Structure 1
Amino acid sequence: MGLINRMETVFKSKMNKVLNRMEDPRETLDYSYEKQLEMLQDVKRGVAEVTTSKKRLQLQRAKLMQSVGKLDSQAKDAVTADREDLARMALERKAALMQQVEGIDTEISELEKQEEKLIASEKRLSTKVEIFRTRKESIKAGYSAAEAQVRINESVTGISEEMADVGLAIERAENKTEEMKARAEAIDELMEVGTLEDLTGPQDDIERELAKISAQTSIESELARLKAEAGKEPEKPEKPEGKEAGKGAEK
């Protein structure tokens, strides 16, 4: 049971973090506002239903009172005609109708009380809903402004996920560029010392060697000319050590 409770706690914690990241306060506020509007509409429908019921009873009462007036007139006519029996019958019916009228008056009074309470509740709820709407729009505007500021700051500082990806891409591109430059310089150096052949060049091995000899001869000739102009004798080439050793052996 302990392991299950821990797993449940971890799961709820993870889900709470996910929901917090997914939740948009503006959507939550709009949803709450819609629910309050639904409650307000329910109250208004309740007021309308109570008012309709009261109007229906009032119409019924008016019809009963018309009947009461008619019976009262009939009772008077019966007394005038010396028909006490008819007068008594009319008065009995009138009394029964008056009892119904009294019951309807009681119901109308109760409905009026309910109507007053519902109207008062509707006014209070309407005020709260309007205050919530104003507050909601203010909070949404502040959240949108803060969200925009965060995005701007993240873009400037490069701490957002998108900018971090861009930064990594730039870093990789720079690293590859440096690697290519180093590789190009290394190849140029190897080609210069003759380790690598320039397969696209027109010269072969013999031509390259002859070109080196020609260049060296030209350098030596130029050096001899400069020394002659300066009045210096050209240095005699040193004899190889092998030949000197051979002469010593002959002696």
Structure 2
Amino acid sequence: MSLMKRMSLIFRSKANTALDRAEDPRETLDYSYQRQLDLLSKVRRGVADVATSRKRIELQIAQLQQQADKLQGQAEKSIQMNREDLAREALTRKSALGGQIEDLKTQHAQLQGEEEKLTLAQQRLQAKVESFRTRKETIKATYTAAEAQTRINEAMSGIGEEMGDVGMAIQRAEDKTANMQARAGAIDELIASGALDDASAINRGDDISRELEAMSSQADVEAELARMKGLSSSPQPDAIEAPASGDILADSGQGEQQAVTPERKDGQA
């Protein structure tokens, strides 16, 4: 097998596989049903056209028959009037019309037979289309149910792509959780053994230092309290008694009288 043939075979096989994956049987059935409806519509139009032609020929036959009857009457009247020449002419024309009428009747019979055939074909095609439509809907319903069942089974078994992604995410979360728990346990063991210092206990000192700091703080509090008690118990200086307001007014009145008396004495002198 040559290289080009192998490439052509591979290409056709790949294309066939891709088409099989992309093909939806429901869409294919709908398309086939639509084509059958189009064909049925064409057959119906054909039947209508044949029936129209048949009706037109019937009208022509009726018109020619009226003309032939008229010529027959004219021929009879011409014989009564001893006009044999006119009667002969009328009968000649009637004979020509008779030939046309026979030709039209032949065409009418052919069209009528064609119409019957097309009508029968239309009825058969109509029955096939209806049968195909029923079968199409049944196949579509079965395919849809099978597709839904397949998706449900894939989801339940975890084979589907979505469920596979969810399962992988859960597995990763469980692995990370286990790693974090192991890391936390290891750090707790190191802190308990003294290999690592607790960051919360930095700059806090040991137990003895904390005890001494507490005692020093308590001693400072006691000393401050004793100093405040000593200040509150020391003697206060005697308060200076203020003179009564009446005495102050009396003293000021006597001074004013003593000042006025010498002035009077000077006036009298």
Same topology, TM > 0.5:
yes
| Residue 43 of structure 2: aligned partner | 43
Q: What is aligned with 2:94?
A: 94
- How far the C-alpha of 1:208 sits from its partner, in A, is 8.2
**Match of 1:77, SS?**
helix
* Residue 35 of structure 1, CA deviation: 1.1
Partners of 1:208 and 1:142 lie apart in 2 by: 82
1:138 Cα deviation from its structure 2 partner: 1.3
Unpaired segments of 5 or more residues in structure 1? 212-251
> Distance between the aligned counterparts of 1:209 and 1:162, measured in 2?
63
Question: In structure 2, how many angstroms separate the alpha carbons of the residues matched to 1:197 and 1:63?
Answer: 124
Post-superposition CA distance 1:108-158 (Å, at most 9, x none): 111111111111111111111111111111111111111111111111111
In the alignment, structure 1 residue 133 sits paired with structure 2 residue 133:
yes
Report the more deviating stretch, 168-177 or 178-187. 178-187
CA 1:169–1:119 in 2, change beyond 3 Å: closer, same or farther?
same
Per the alignment, residue 33 of structure 1 pairs with 33
SS of the aligned residue for 1:196 comes to coil
Question: CA 1:209–1:10 in structure 2 vs 1: closer, same or farther (change >3 Å)?
Answer: farther
Tell me if 1:203 matches 2:196. no
Which residue number corresponds to residue 58 of structure 1?
A: 58
Percent of aligned pairs with the same residue? 54
Q: In 2, distance between residues paired with 1:33 and 1:150?
A: 27
SS at match of 1:44: helix
Distance 1:188-1:79 versus aligned 2 partners, 3 A rule: same
The residue aligned with 2:188 is: 188
- Matched residue type, 2:186: A
- In structure 1, the residue matched to 2:121 is 121
Q: How much has 1:160 moved relative to structure 2?
A: 1.0
Which has more radius of gyration?
2
CA–CA distance in structure 2, aligned partners of residues 49 and 77 of structure 1: 42
Moved over 4 A (4+): 208-211
Q: CA deviation at 1:66?
A: 0.9
Letter aligned with residue 207 of structure 1: D
Distance apart, 1:188 and its partner CA: 2.4
- Report Cα offsets for 1:81-104 as digits up to 9, x if no partner: 222222222112111111111111
Q: Structure 1 residues 30, 88: CA separation in 2 closer, same or farther (over 3 Å shift)? A: same
> 1:244 is matched with which residue?
none
How many equivalent residue pairs? 210
Q: Secondary structure at the match of 1:159?
A: coil
Distance 1:74 1:65, change over 3 A: same
Q: Does 1:167 find its partner at 2:167?
A: yes
> Partner letter of residue 178 of structure 2?
E
- Helix, strand or coil for the counterpart of 1:94? helix
Q: How well do the aligned residues superpose, as a CA RMSD in angstroms?
A: 2.1
Q: SS of the residue aligned with 2:155?
A: helix
Residues 210 and 4 of structure 1: is their aligned pair in 2 closer, same or farther, counting only changes over 3 Å? farther
Amino acid at match of 1:193: S
Between 178-187 and 66-75, the greater mean CA deviation after superposition: 178-187
Deviations 1:42-63 (A, max 9, x none): 1111111111110111111111
List gaps (5 residues or longer) in structure 2.
211-269
